[in-house]
Amino acid sequence: MLDLAAADADSAYAPLGLADPAMAQAQLERVTADLGRMYRERNEALRALARAHHEALLRLSIAAEYRDDDTGVHIVRMGFLAEALALALGQPRSWARLLRMAAPMHDIGKIGVPDSVLKKPGPLTPEERAVMNRHAQMGAEILGTSDVPLFRLASEVAMAHHERFDGGGYPRGLAGIDIPLSGRIVSVVDYFDALTMDRCYRPAIADDTALEMLRRERGRLFDPVVADAFLNNAGQMVALRDRINEHRPQFSALLDDEALPLLGA
């Protein structure tokens, strides 16, 4: 039998085959370079996919929000204020950034609440209240159980943002630090921002009044540590909110990995 490998190595073309160490090295380098290209292209495609998924869910959140507030800016404020509060609490920058992207989806479940309940001018009956309160659970289900950290966090926020520190909230009636930190942060930010925006049924409440109301809910609605972090940084929070209102960033600002420079501290 012919020893093909030996024959090839002996042939006049050996310098062009892998038997030639220089050729083998050069070929390995080409393969490695190609692998690098595919690696970067794969990562870019994954990022684009996650961004498209995030954008679709943000648009759905805005659709839910438009039925309640015709500006949709509340959603943008929620993201940036939640991030600022997380940083004030000493949370890692990466987590705070993730919360900025996740928090705006907290009310996505309102898409499943009928207008007759969501837009009812007067107080809700107990049955209507029960329908309204389902939005937390529905939101968590819409956001789903995902392996992607962003959607896992968003689902956690949707589920937990109406829990109360004293255990009297919904849907699970969790108390204290059994409520995920993300939910404790977003509930504080949501409370303050909802009070200080104009609603169809009342004008905005003054910042000082809203801050005093927040102070009174320490340990009741809110984790005192989280509420204090907001109160101790109230000036910075209000300034951030005002910058957002002034610049009216589009929700795409929430998609980007870095905050808009104009909103930067």
Site for other proteins, rule CB under 8 A: 25, 28-29, 32-33, 35-36, 39-40
| Minimum CB–partner distance for residue 11 and other proteins (Å) | 24
Q: Which among 202, 189, 187, 201 has a CA at the least distance from the CA of 244? A: 189
**Torsions phi, psi of 199, nearest 5?**
-120, 160
Residue nearer to other proteins on the CB measure, 10 or 29: 29
Taking the least distance from each CB to other proteins, the nearer of 47 and 59 is 47
Query: Which DSSP string do the residues of 145-212 spell out, in sequence order?
Result: S-SSHHHHHHHHHHHHTT--TTS--SSS---GGGS-HHHHHHHHHHHHHHHTS-BTTBPPPPHHHHHH
d(CA 262, CA 176): 36
Q: Number of helices (H) and strands (E), helices first, in the chain?
A: 12, 0
Which residues, 6+ apart, have CB-to-CB distance to 226 below 8 Å? 85, 89, 181, 184, 185, 188
Q: Give the nearest distance from C-beta 198 to other proteins in angstroms.
A: 43
Task: Find the shortest distance in angstroms from Cβ 150 to other proteins.
Answer: 17
Nearer to other proteins, 24 or 239 (CB): 24
CB-nearer residue toward other proteins: 35 or 262:
35
Task: Kindly state the greatest CA–CA separation across the chain.
Answer: 95
- Pick the closer one to other proteins by CB: 94 or 116: 94
Q: Which amino acid is at 224?
A: P
d(CA 158, CA 169): 13
The residue with tokens 């009174």 is: 216
Cβ proximity to other proteins: between 28 and 204 the closer is 28
Least distance from other proteins to the Cβ atom of residue 94, Å: 9
- Nearest distance from C-beta of residue 148 to other proteins, angstroms: 17
Q: How far is the CB of 245 from other proteins (least distance, A)?
A: 36
